Amino acid sequence: MVADIKILVCVGLAVVLSGVGQSAFIGKSHSGGKDDPVLQYVVNNSLREHPVLTKLRLRTLEDSWNVMMVASEQAQLMANLIKLINGTKAIEIGMYTGYNALSMALAMPENGRVVACEIEDTYVNIAKPFFKEAGVENKIDVQHQIAMKTLNDLIAAGEVGTYDFVFIDADKSNYDNYYEKSLELIRTGGIIAIDNVLWSGRVVNPAPTDLTSQALDTLNKKLHKDQRIDLSMLTVGDGLTIAIKR
């Protein structure tokens, strides 16, 4: 019950802050899009959530920062993209309680590996038992340190051009740096997925004082012109850019 109220507050906040009118509603469902019948319909008629993912989602809803959790239908989209490109090597920059890291690991064959970057002990400790319960703890390498250090370590270890998929979902001020490092680590035809690119709609004419929205808007405009990738900007969740390395 308490968790449900939080979702409504968070989604409501996203609508209020969007400032771009009703038609541009940016949905984000953690549990079926309770206040948006179309989003609810999407989830009701397409979500196939592994039982351990359901348990992890419900556990995460008890955390006060649960608005950070990836939307279930967005995680499923990324899992399907990984299957589509036969991905076996992924990186998640910003794991939180592990919903998407677990979803990616479940989408991969036995030899699949997810490098999951997370700085906060609390979140790592919530995530790990669920990875074990789903039987994929051997597929998820939790790097419990600053994400930029992990990316530099992977580059130094000779892993340039070997990753199939990267999900960028940590501190927004570093997004451009994460994107550049990811482009190095990803193979041709690999995918970099970037979360929160619409930032509840605030990227549209961001206020001069709103540095996060400005940074995201600048990155969005950079990617639009970036000839190293093909791209699509999707309105799923809080906005998701799919960049495919040429």
Ligand X SMILES: *[C@@H]1O[C@H](CO)[C@@H](O)[C@H](O)[C@H]1NC(C)=O
Ligand Y SMILES: C[S@@+](CC[C@H](N)C(=O)[O-])C[C@H]1O[C@@H](n2cnc3c(N)ncnc32)[C@H](O)[C@@H]1O
Under a CB-based contact definition with an 8 Å cutoff, are residues 85 and 189 in contact? yes
Please state the closest distance from residue 37 (CB atom) to ligand X, in A: 5
In the complex, least distance from residue 199 CB atom to ligand X, rounded to whole angstroms: 27
Q: Which among 136, 191, 137 is positioned nearest to 168, based on CA atoms? A: 191
Q: Which of 14, 95, 134, 216 binds ligand Y (CB under 6 A)?
A: 95
Q: How far is the CB of 234 from ligand X (least distance, A)?
A: 20
Binding site for ligand X (CB under 6 A): 37, 40-41, 44, 85-86
Contact between 171 and ligand Y by CB under 6 A: the answer reads yes
Which of ligand X, ligand Y, none does residue 191 bind to, with CB < 5 to 8 Å depending on kind?
none
Among 6, 26, 118, 217, binds ligand Y (CB under 6 A): 118
Nearer to ligand X, 40 or 212 (CB): 40
Residues 61-80 interacting with ligand Y (rule: CB under 6 A): 68-70
